[in-house]
Copies of this chain bind each other. A is one copy, B any other.
Amino acid sequence: MNPDRIRVAILGATGYTGSELVRLLTPHPGVDLVAVTSESRAGEPFSAVHPSFRGIEDRALVTVADLEDMDLDLMFLALPHRVSMEFVRDHGLQRCRIIDLSGDFRLPSAEMYEAWYGTPHVASEFLGEAVFGLPELNRTAIAGARLVANPGCYPTSAILALAPLLERNQVSPEGIVIDSKSGVTGAGATAGEGTHFPRVFGNFSAYGLLGHRHTPEIEHVLGLVAGEEIDLLFTPHLLPVDRGILTTAYARPRPGVDAESVTAALHEAYADEPFVRVCPTPPGIKDVRGSNYCDVFATCDPRTDRVVTVSVIDNLVKGAAGQAVQNLNIMFDWPETTGLNQGPVNP
C-alpha cells in the first residue's frame, strides 16, 4: 500500500501532541491534513490556540462530529487517555486506521490497565489488535496494523537503550533501575500549580515515585524482549526545560560482558535504523531537540559490576508526534524518514 497521498485527521488540537503533529505534518509530502478537531475551541483557527502557527495553519478547528462525512485514511488520536478508548469503542476501526498517542492501548490487558491507570478499560476488545508502535522493535506488525498504540515518551527512551542488551543476553532482567528526567512539556499543555514558572525555574525534583503509569509499559515490552517477566524500578524527575528526556538505566551484566560488548550490541541492533544513533560518549537532550532521533550510549563498570546506559529523545518528537509520523510512514510504505528530515535545533 503506497498511495501518493493520504487523507489524515488529528483529533485533539489543544495539547502539545496535537500541535507537534501539525508542525511535522505540514511539510510532509504525502499527507493531506484534512481536519483538526477540538471540542472546546471548535470554530476558532488552529493558530488562535497555537499562535506560532499563524500563517502556517489557520484552518478552523472542527468537532469530532464534523468528521462524520469526511473520507479519511488515518486518524491520529491526540486525546487524553480514557477519551481515546471511548472514541475507539464508539467508532471502531472500520472506517480508517488509527494511531493513538494516549496510553489506552499500550498495555496488554484490561487488568493491567486498570491496576496502573485506576480506571476500567472500556474498549478491551481492541487490545489484542493494537500494535505497540515502536518501529525499532515492531516494524512489520506496524506496517499492517489498523490500530497503533504510539509508545509513551519515557518508555521510548528506556526501551531503546535496554532492549538490545536484554535481547542479546548482555544484562540480567533482574534488578533494573531506570532513572529518567523529563522536560515540562511532558506534563501537558494545561497550566497548574506544579507547572507554574516560578516553581519550576531553577528547580529539579522527583515525582510519581514507585507508581508512574509508564512503569508497566516498560516492563511489559522489555519482558517480551527478554523472554521473561521483568519487575523494574522507574523514577521520573522534572527537568526545568521545555523539551527532552534523558534516561539513565542500570542493570547487572551477564558474565563476560564489558563496555565493548554492550556498545557492540547497540551498534548491531541499530546499524540500519534511521533514527537511533549510538554515541561514543553520553549524549545530552539538546543533541536531539526538535528532531526524531534517539541517541543511546552504554558502558559497563567492572568495579561495581554494572551496565549503565544513557539515552535521550525529544519527548514531543521521538517520544510522541515524530514517532507517530514514523509509524504512519511505515503503515503507508513510504521511506521512514519522510517528513522527518529536520535536524536537531542546537544550540
Interface of A with B (CB < 8 Å)? 16, 19, 23, 26-27, 50-56, 175, 177, 179, 181, 183-185, 189-193, 195-207, 209-210, 231-233, 235, 237, 239-244, 246, 248, 250, 277, 279, 282-290, 293, 295, 299, 301, 303-304, 306, 308, 310, 316, 341-347
Contact = CB atoms under 8 A, between A and B. Distances in A.
Q: Is the interface of A mostly helix, strand, loop or mixed?
A: loop
A233 B175 CA distance: 14
A50 B346 CA distance: 9
B55 A205 contact: no
B248 A210 contact: no
Contact of A345 (B23, B183, B235, B285): B23
A246 B197 CA distance: 19
B189 A198 contact: yes
Nearest to A203: B286
Given A179-B248, A179-B250, 12 more contacts: A52-B343, A53-B343, A177-B250, A177-B306, A185-B198, A189-B198, A197-B197, A202-B202, A202-B286, A235-B308, A290-B290, A290-B345
A304 B189 contact: no
A297 to B, nearest CB: 8
B205 A283 contact: yes
B342 A27 contact: yes
Contacts of A240: 197, 201, 239-241
Nearest to A207: B282
A16 B347 CA distance: 8
A242 B201 contact: yes
A341 B196 contact: no
A296 to B, nearest CB: 12
Contact of A185 (B277, B310, B343, B347): B347
Contacts of A232: 304
